Amino acid sequence: MQWKTLGTAPFLPPLYWRAALKRKITGSTLPEQGLRCPVSIDPRQAAAYRKVCGFADSPMLPATYPHILAFGLQMQLLTDQSFPFPLLGLIHLSNRIRIHRPLGGVSELSVGVHAQNLKPHPKGATFDLVTTVEDALGLLWEAESRMLCRGVKLEGEPGSDVVQPSPNQVSELTRWKAPADIGRCYARVSGDYNPIHLSALTAKLFGFPQAIAHGLWNKARALAALGDHLSAANIEIDVAFKKPVRLPGEVTLLSSAPGSAGEFWLKGPGDIEHMVGKWRPIA
The pLDDT tens digits for 184-211 are 999 999 999 998 999 999 999 888 899 9
Query: CB atoms < 10 A from the CB of 226, how many?
Result: 20
The pLDDT tens digits for 75-118 are 999 999 999 999 988 999 999 999 999 999 888 999 999 999 99
The pLDDT tens digits for 1-13 are 899 999 999 999 9
230 phi/psi in degrees, rounded to 5: -110, 140
Write the class of the CATH domain 1-162: alpha beta
Give the angle 280-189-97 at the CA atoms, nearest 5°: 15
Per-position b or e across 241-273, b if 16+ CB within 10 A of its CB:
bbebbbbebebbbbbbeeeeebbbbbbbeeeee
Write the class of the CATH domain 164-283: alpha beta
**Domain ranges, ordered by start, for the chain:** 1-162, 164-283
Distance of CA 86 to the CA centre of its chain: 18
The pLDDT tens digits for 114-139 are 999 999 999 999 999 999 999 999 99
Is 164-283 the same fold as 1-162?
yes
